[in-house]
Each structure stands twice: as structure tokens, then as C-alpha cells.
Amino acid sequence: MMKANNKVGLVFFPAFDWAISPTHPEREERLLYTQDQLFEEGIADIEGIHFINPIKAESKDIQRVHFCVPTVEDRLTQSHYISAGGAIKAFQSVMDKEVDKAFALVRPPGHHAQRVVYGDRGFCIVNVEAVMIERIRQQYENLRVAIVDTDCHHGDGTEDIYWNDRDTLFISIHQDGRTLYPGTGSIDEFGGPGAYGYNINIPLPPHTGEEGFLYTLDNVVLPILDEYKPDVVINSAGQDNHYSDPITNMNFTAQGYAQLTHRLNPDVAVLEGGYSIEGALPYVNLGILLAMAGMDYSHVKEPDYDKEKLKQSSRVTEHVKQVCDLVYNRWKNREQLRSKLFNGTDHVERSRRIYFDTDNILETQTQRFSLCPRCSGLSTIDSRSDGGQRIFAITIPRDGCSNCVDAGYKLYRDTSLKYTNVYLSDRVHDVFQSKGRRGT
Amino acid sequence: MIIGLDMGGTHVDAVLMDGGRVIHAVKNPINRQDALESIWAALKQLLSGYGQSKIDRIHLSTTVSTNAIVEGKAAPVGMIIQKGPGLPHDFSDCGEERIFVSGYTDHRGTVIKDLDPEEIEQGITVFKEKNIQNCAVVTKFSTRNPSHELAIRDQIKHGLAFVTMGHTLSGKLNFPRRVYTAYLNAAVYSAFKEFSNNIKRALVREGIHAPLYVLKADGGTISLEKAEEKPVETILSGPAASFMGISAMLGTDEDAVLLDIGGTTTDIFFLADGVPLFEPWGIDIGPYKTLVRAIYSTSIGLGGDSGIQIRDGRIRIGPTREGRPYAFGGPKPTPTDAMVVLGLINEGDKTRAWECMGALGRELNASAEETAKDILKAMGERIKNTVNQLLDKINARPVYTVRELLHGKTLKPKRIHVIGGPAKALAPILEEAFGLPCHYPEHYDVANAVGAALAKTTTEITLFADTSEGVLLVPELGIRQPIPRNFSADQARERAALLLKEQAISLGAKQSEMEVEITEQSAFNMVRNFYNTGQNIRVTAQVQPGILYRFRGD
């Protein structure tokens, strides 16, 4: 019998009875062939690979991360609670030292879900990784976390959630937003005033292959992680950089994903996107799992894999190098850049329009980040949807000082009900409050 | 009348049953050198005074195949394996010779790369050189498309005694287990075939014309002729016999723990709403994980004759048996001695029993009687702890749907059924340890043979239909046929039930004794480019283990 070198917890929850809609990419069939492949390979019999059932996340877990409008219960399906719960369970099994590493193969995905949730965008309602991390921080300790998002789409939801949190480094490697949904993820999105430099985007050109991804990993991601020294590394393991993915334009492979996982060496990996359900997912998932288990993945290949055909052009190689140089230099100079931008200011505002494509809702919001010498500072979101809701949300960060705590509660009390809903998330005391109308 | 015969590790038990009643029972020590001789002696004894013509069927639980493996008498097997891309299994632990051939079929059953007949030809040469007669052919995803296994079989079959194809042994997806299952099937083929021929000859010689059935690890039977093709199914049917024995003697439709407490070991089984719990993939045979369907069972080294010692002021029972109980002239104190001291057993040398309990008691600063009580209590606790650990694992089995995760069945035993020598003595102790009612039957001494006698024919099939490819497969039956695009999940279920019935009858079942159960079913819309191209339908159907007649006491 085969034996894993690392004990890996596999939370495999394909939700075979849940779909966004019958023909939606996020449907029952999505992990069917992955299950077939994993079963046929005899994964369940490998010593050291443990199948673990998800738990169901609680509303409180969701509220640590999101302002669901009007309430959590209104926005989530059972499957969302379980997907987040699956990730939580994966991380818990690592924290409890039951396993060395864990892979949450759960659906639906989460990395497009931002702070404010009016509905589904990019197939996501709940940011699975963020809900997982905040639950673990609450239950265990305030870990320093690095999230490396290897989905082909920019992890704009995770970026938004950790925008002003320097204890959570977010690195997103994705197809350049000028060529793909959601359009964001440029190099100059570099974090809020409390965490400038800790939100790192690496937009790669279309047709990037194994060479480009691994170059990026070796020359930017790993050196930054070395310097950041996180307690844990989380991989948002989207699989749509694959050459056979129907909605993206990259040339990555199962071998490439396995090697990337091997070198990145994440403590927890969580499935994100990836919709080549027959040609990619069965092989990519197998490759990631074997890499995490410290096993030989060199024979994992797609049936139509052709190394020569998938070789990236020299133009792409050159482009990737330029992006990598740029990103790494900005990281090196982050303190300098930060002072230049924020010295002398007491707050920063940014206004955005956010489109919930899956549910066809348009949101307009203004975020306000206060600069505080003693903590990351209070932040607020003033947001309205074209469905007629207008909300105000206040966040007291985990490291909030007593002044900011008091200011947060005062602001909550003083905010009038011209808003449909007002929310307060006090992460110092793990308290969530809301007032206003309970919508539909 | 039905004859039930169970070959255990030490004894052959045989019963002659009329309806649910035991007419005659025989218990003989086993002749390890000659299984047939053991069976034969027991049968003759059993039938003396009863008419042979009244025998309707004979059910055997035999260790022939198990022993062939354990005693290294298995035939050398030539393996032809197509493993394609994936995990780097070398399967060096099975087969005399292993030939790895190129070609690949993917998870949909699409042939991605063809076979190379040259490579297979080289395999034939190697097998010939080594005089290998039995062969196992296994390709990855052969349960999705067996064409490569069939082509290899056709190329190599001439001149070989036996060729097993992986897809015929189970419809489940698990390539390594399929390899080991096919290996074992080929390895025990000759030993079982010889046994089968001998017993058939002997039956003719003695003028017994009743059909012969063999017990399987899933608690069901299979006709002797069919067992010749799948002898691996007859491996490790002992625990299944005792399981069926308990089920025949004590019925329930609740969740229950079933215990067979013997001299050396305690076997643990479970019922979920009265239905046996199966191994999720298949049984472990020695070092091999297989796809052989089996009743879930765990054996722990704890029985009436387990040796007892005191370590760090605590009572340790087992895990080994070091001989007979002290009261029966053995070397060490055992739980049986404790039962003698407490008056729960009226056999053996009481003085010796008190003597050894007294000696243990001195180490514990307790009286002989207190010590005996503590020993039985420790035994009950150990069984309870093991059962609870198993339940934790069983209830944590992976589930894959929202419905199952939120509303799925959790196994919570409401009662305990126990058989075996110490059953009666331990029942009140188990009752207290578990806080559950504990029942034991009167005739537990022949429960295994009764279980074998009353077991029904069982089988399982896996149906896979892909309407976008227009193909339906039932690997175990070698069925691969076209279906129309509008073939529905309901039709799939009906087809599975029909095929299962036909299969059960061909294995020896009677129409009247059959209950068909659909154990798993799913249908997935297959969507390509936002269009529904068809359905991916999976159905598993079984004839579940059951008893032919309700057991009746005297």
C-alpha cells in the first residue's frame, strides 16, 4: 500500500445535490469526474490521506467577514455554509495536529465575495478562505497568514476583505484583468493605508504556461513569503489557469499545478474556480493532493498533455519577467511608497462600483479608512445597490485600539436610519450588531 | 432440509435444518491437512439416520481459498496491468510476473491511447517460460470501459488455465483494489477448483444430489459452479457465517451491535435499521485491500480464553490466547476462570479457578471474587470502548451531498446481540457497560453453521449509463450496450433491478427469496457549452443478505 509522507486531511465535498442553476458551470456535475479519478486511483486507501467531512459554518462565522444584506440567512444556501465549514474543518484539523496539511475540495467557491454581500458574484457569495481564517483566529490564536491565490481570476473578494490588514498578506496571481473578469487586480492595487504593500497582484499575460507560473512563484511569491514569515500559508487553489479551461486563456497544466503546490508548500489549500470538469479538474486535483502529501506526482498528466504545444512564447516569457520585476521592486519599496502616499493624511477614501454578475445587481460604495497611530484604524463602507438598499457598515479591526473601539460604537449609535441597514463588526470583541429593516 | 457447514479455525460445525429448526448438529475438530476430509466426516455424521434424498441444499462456509493464501499454496499469477498516468503503483507485492502495458482509458470510458499487442505478446512469452497458468488482467477505468481488458484476455487466453478480468469482479472504481482482487481470484482459482471437483465427485459417489452453495464474505451464498469463476468471493466467509447466525437467531429492525465472543477473539458487527453494515470498499485479505463485498467486521484479541496479567496494578486481558483456561488445565488465568469463580459456568476445576483468581487478587489487594468481577467488568469496558471507536469512524464516513451531511443517518445502537461461549455470562455485564439491552440466543454454540444454512443468495451490480455517449455498462455482468439518448434514470433503475434478479437466479437464488434493493442512485446532467448533452447515471443494486427461514428453538 502507498503511504503519504505528509499526513493530509482531504475535505472532499462535491455537493452533488446543489447547483446555482441547471446549466451553470457551478453545478452538480462539477466534481463528479474528480471523484471518479480520486476513487479510481485508490486515494482512499493511501496511508496518511484522511477523508474528513465538513462541518456547517455558523452565521457568526460569516458575520466576522461579511456584511450580508439584509442578513446572512437571506443570502446563503446550505451549500455555502458547508463549503465554508469544509474549509474551517480542514484548517482545524491542521491546527489540532491531526494532519500536517489539509485540502478543502469544496464548492461553491468564494474568492470573489467581498465585505458587502448583496448576492452572488463570480459564482461566490461567501469568501470561504476568509471565513475560515477568521474562525481559526478567533478559536485558536491571532495567526499571521499569507494567502496565495492561484485562481486565474483576480481574487478581488479576498483583496477587499484584507485590504487594510497587514497581518494577512494577500498575493493573487491571475490573468491580466484587462483581458478577463473581474477586470481588477492591477499591480498598483497595493492595500489600504494600514496595510500598504500587503496586497500584491501579479497580473500575467494570456497564454502563460508552466514556465511563467513557476518563474513567478520562484522569483516573486517565494521571496516575499520568505521575508513576510507567515505562520501559515493558505492556497486559494483555483484551477482555471489550465489550458483546457473554457472561460480563461492560460496554458497551465496538472504537472505545473502539482509543482507549484510542491514548492509553495501550503498548510491549507482551498478549491476556488476551475470549470474544465473533465479535462483538467480530475488531474489537477490529483496533482495538488499528491504534492501536498509529499508523494510522487510525476506521472499525473492529462490524457492530451503535450509539453511542446503548451510551451509559452518568448514574448510571454519576457512580459512575465517584467511584471515580476515590477511587483518585487514595489514590495521592496513598500514603506517608502506608503509614506509618500499617506503621510500627513488622517483618512483615505475610495469609491467603487461592484457588479454582482451572477445575480445582476449593481453596487456603488465608498470605503473610508481612518489612519490611527495605535492600530489599523476604523473603516466604514457606505453602500447602495440598484435594488434600493443603502447600508452603512463599520469595522473595528482585530488590532483596534480602545479609542477606535469607542469611536466605532459611537458611530454605530449615531448613524441614523436613513440607511436601510447599519452594521457594526467589532473584531476586537468578536461582536456583530445590526439595526434597520430586514429586507426580503 | 438444508445442511449448513462452517469450517472455522479449529472446528467444523455442521447442522441439519428443517425450516428454521435444527434437527441434528455436529462439532468436530478440523483436519488442517485435508479440508475435504473434514467436511466429509462432518457430513456423514450429520446425515447418519437421515435420508439423503430429503436434502434440498447444502451451504458451505469454507476456508479453502483463505488457506491457499495464508499457507502460501496460491498459484503463481501472471499479471497484465495497464496503469496509465496517475499514481506510480508498482504492485510488486502481487503476482509472480507483472507486465505493464501501454494504452489508457479515461474516467468517461474514452480510450485515449490504444494497446500495443507486441507488449502483450512479450508477456505471453514470459508466462510460458515460467509456466504460469493463471493470469489476471486489469486496466485503469475498466469499469467504465472494459474493451482493453477484453482485448488482452482474447490475446492471451489460449494455453492458459484461467484468466480473470478486473471489471468482472466489481463495478466499483478503485484500480489498486481491482488489481489485488483480480490477483487473489487468479491465485486461489486452482485450489478452489480442485476442492470443488473433489466435493462434486464425492457427492455423486454418495448419491447426494442437492445443489451446493458456498458462503461469501457478504453474508450471502453463491452456487458452487459460479464460485469456481469467482473463488475470491469465498474468502473469509467465517465472520459472515457468525453474523448470519446471530441475525437468524435474533432479529431486529433497529440499530444494533452484534458480537461473537469466542475463545480467542471477539468479532464486532453492526446493523443499521436491522440491515447489515458493509465494508465501504471491500474486505482486507491479509495485506491486500480488495473489492470483495463483505459485511463490516472487526476482530479484537479478546475472548473467554485470553490470558490475563496484572500490569501497573491494572488488569490486562489478551490479546493472545496462551492455551486453555487455568480451570481446564491451562497455564494462565482467563476470563473463563473468572466466570467459573462467579458460578456463571459450571464446568472446569473450581479449585484451580479460585486459586488463579486468588493469586491475581493478591496483586490487586482484592479477594478472588472481587477480582473475577473486575475482570469481567474490564472485558465489558474494553468491548464498549472498541465499539465506540468504531462507531465514531463509521459515523465520520465521508458523504458527498448536502442532504446527507445535514440529515444523513447516524448509527446509534439500541441493543446488543451476542453469541459465543461466554455470551450468557457476559450479557449482564455488557448491558451495564453499554447501558443497552443485551440479548443472547439459546443455541449459540452452532450459530455459525446455522448462519451458513439459512443464508440467502446475494449479489450486487453496478450500472453506469452515459446518455450523451449512448452507452450502458454493467461491468460485473460484462454488459456494454447502446441506449437511446432519452434513456432515463427511472429506466436505469428498472434495468438494474431486472438484471440483478437475472444475475441472482443464475447464482442460485430462487425468485421467491429475493428482495431487490437499490442502494445508490444518482443522475447528473452533463452540460457542455451551456447545453445539456445527456445524463450520467449511476445505480447500484443489491440482493441484500437475509435468512431463508426464521430460526426456531426447540
- B31/A261 Cα distance (integer angstroms): 58
In this prediction, residue A151 carries a pLDDT of: 98
Mean pLDDT within B180-187: 97
| pLDDT attached to residue A86 | 98
Q: For the residues B207-216, what does the mean pLDDT come to? A: 92
**Does A279 lie in the same domain as A354?**
no
Residue A438 has pLDDT above 70, yes or no: no
Q: Tell me which of A229-233, B143-147, B183-187, B346-350 is least confident.
A: B346-350
In the numeric block, which cell numbers belong to residue A304?
492530451
Q: Which residues pair with B459 in a beta bridge?
A: B543
What is the average pLDDT across B371-386?
96
A45: three-class secondary structure by DSSP: helix
In a domain, A414, yes or no: yes
Question: With an 8 Å Cβ cutoff, are A278 and B107 in contact?
Answer: yes
Residue contact B88–A45, C-beta within 8 A: no
> Looking at A334, A355, A376, which one is the last position of a domain?
A334
| Higher per-residue pLDDT: B237 or A143 | A143
Beta-carbon contacts of residue B215 (< 8 Å; ≥ 6 apart): B6, B59, B60, B61, B62, B221, B234, B237, B240, B241, B244, B452, B455
**Does some domain include residue A342?**
no
Boundary-marking domain end, from A278, A310, A334? A334
| Residue-level length of chain A | 440
Nearest C-alpha of chain A: how many angstroms from B537?
11
**pLDDT: which is higher, A82 or B548:** A82
Instruction: Inform me whether the pLDDT recorded for B412 exceeds 60.
Output: yes
State the nearest Cα–Cα gap between A14 and chain B, in angstroms. 6
**Other beta carbons within 10 Å of A211:** 16
3-state secondary structure (DSSP) of residue B34: coil
Question: Chain A partners of B530 at a C-beta cutoff of 8 Å?
Answer: 23
| CA atoms of B90 and A133, how far apart (whole Å) | 40
What whole-number distance in Å separates Cα of residue B343 and Cα of residue B339? 6
Q: Do B86 and A296 touch (CB under 8 A)?
A: no
Q: Which residue, B21, B40, B20, B17, is CA-closest to B30? A: B40
A327/A359 same-domain check: no
Beta carbons of A4 and A48 less than 8 angstroms apart: yes
Residue B36 has pLDDT above 50, yes or no: yes
What confidence score (pLDDT) does residue B81 get?
A: 98
What residues contact residue A413 under an 8 Å CB cut-off, 6+ apart?
none
A40 contacts B175? CB cut-off 8 A: yes
Within a domain: A162:
yes
Please write the tens of the pLDDT for every residue from B275-293: 999 999 999 998 999 999 9
The burial class, CB within 10 Å (0-12 / 13-18 / 19+), for B389 is exposed
pLDDT at B30: 83
Q: What is the pLDDT of residues A241-285, one digit of tens each?
A: 999 999 999 999 999 999 999 999 999 999 999 999 999 999 999
Q: Is B236 helix (H, G, I), strand (E, B) or coil?
A: coil
Tell me, yes or no, if A306 comes closer than 8 A to chain B by beta carbon: no
Residues A146 and A242 in one domain: yes
Cβ contact, residue pair A2, B87, below 8 Å: yes
Amino acid A439: pLDDT: 46
SS3 content of chain A, % helix, strand, coil (to 5): 35, 25, 45
User: Does the pLDDT of residue A227 top 90, yes or no?
Assistant: yes
Is residue A308 assigned to a domain? Answer: yes
Specify whether the backbone of A303 is left (phi greater than 0), alpha (psi in -120 to 50) or beta.
alpha
Which of the residue ranges A157-171, B56-70, B528-542 has the most confident prediction, judged by mean pLDDT? A157-171
CATH of the domain at A131: 3.40.800.20
Position A256, amino acid = G
Q: Are residues A257 and A382 in the same domain?
A: no
Residue B403 has, within 13 A of its CA and on its CB side, a CA count of 3
- pLDDT tens digits for A341-397? 999 999 999 999 999 999 999 999 999 999 999 999 999 999 999 999 999 999 999
How many A-B residue pairs are in contact by the CB < 8 A criterion?
121
Instruction: Strands of A295-378 (E only): list them.
Output: 347-356, 361-370
**ipTM for the assembly:** 0.94
Residue pair A30/A14 in contact (Cβ under 8 Å)? The answer is yes
d(CA A372, CA A391): 24
Q: In 3-state terms, what secondary structure has residue B133?
A: coil
The answer to whether the Cβ–Cβ distance between A54 and B174 falls below 8 Å is: no
Residues of A in contact with B406 (CB under 8 A): 56, 78, 82
Q: Do residues A406 and A276 both lie within one domain?
A: no
- The verdict on B489 touching A (C-beta cutoff 8 Å) is no
pLDDT at B207: 86
Both A244 and A357 in one domain: the answer is no
Q: How confident is the model at residue A440 (pLDDT cuts 50, 70, 90)?
A: very low
Instruction: Count Cα neighbours of B70 within 13 Å in the Cβ-side half-sphere.
Output: 11
Please indicate, yes or no, if residue A341 is contained in any of the structural domains: no
User: What phi, psi does B121 have (nearest 5°)?
Assistant: -60, -40
Its domain, for residue A431, covers 347-436
Task: State pLDDT tens for residues A86-137.
Answer: 999 999 999 999 999 999 999 999 999 999 999 999 999 999 999 999 999 9
Contact B317, B301 (CB under 8 A): no
The Cα of B113 is separated from the nearest Cα of chain A by a number of Å equal to 8
Residues A376 and A326 reside in one and the same domain: no
- Would residue A198 count as lying in a domain? yes
Exactly one of A80, A112, A153, A242 is catalytic; which is it? A112
Distances in Å between the alpha carbon of B449 and those of A175, B61, B452? 68, 8, 5
Are A329 and A363 in the same domain? no
Across all residues in chain A, what is the average pLDDT?
96
Question: What's the CA gap between A137 and A133, in Å, rounded?
Answer: 6
Answer whether residue B40 shows pLDDT above 90: no
Say whether pLDDT at B504 is over 60.
yes
- Average pLDDT over all residues of chain B: 93
Indicate whether A361 and A272 sit together in one domain.
no
Residue in A with minimal Cα distance to B88: A299
B529: contact with A, CB 8 A cutoff? yes
CA A158, chain centre distance (Å) = 5
Is there a domain that residue A148 lies in?
Answer: yes
Which of A:311-330 have CB within 8 Å of B? none
Give the separation between CA A136 and CA A424, rounded to whole angstroms: 21
State which residue of chain A sits closest to B104, comparing Cα positions.
Answer: A303
Number of domains forming the structure of chain A: 2
Q: What residues form DSSP beta bridges with B135?
A: B78, B163
Does pLDDT of B443 surpass 80? Answer: no
> What's the predicted TM-score (pTM) here?
0.95
Q: Does B72 touch chain A (CB under 8 A)?
A: no
A339 found inside a domain: no
Reported as type and span, the H/E element at residue B501 is helix B489-506
Residue A81, chain B, CB below 8 Å: the answer is no
> In chain A, whose CA is at the least distance from the CA of B402?
A15
Asked whether the predicted pLDDT for residue B554 surpasses 70, the reply is: no
Query: Amino acid identity of B214?
Result: V
Residues A323 and A397 in one domain: no
A113 and A196 share a domain? yes
Residue contact A278–B112, C-beta within 8 A? no
Last-in-domain residue among A334, A363, A389: A334
Q: Quick check: A1 pLDDT over 80?
A: no
Model confidence pLDDT, tens digit, residues A392-435? 999 999 999 999 999 999 999 999 878 999 999 999 999 999 99
Whether B112 and A303 have beta carbons less than 8 Å apart is answered as: yes
The amino acid sitting at B433 is A
- Whether residues A164 and A263 fall in one domain: yes
Active site annotation includes A112: yes
Q: What share of chain B is helix, strand, coil (3-state, %, to 5)?
A: 40, 30, 35
Q: Find all residues with CB under 8 Å of A424, minimum gap 6, and list them.
A: A393, A394, A396, A408, A409, A412, A431, A432, A433, A434
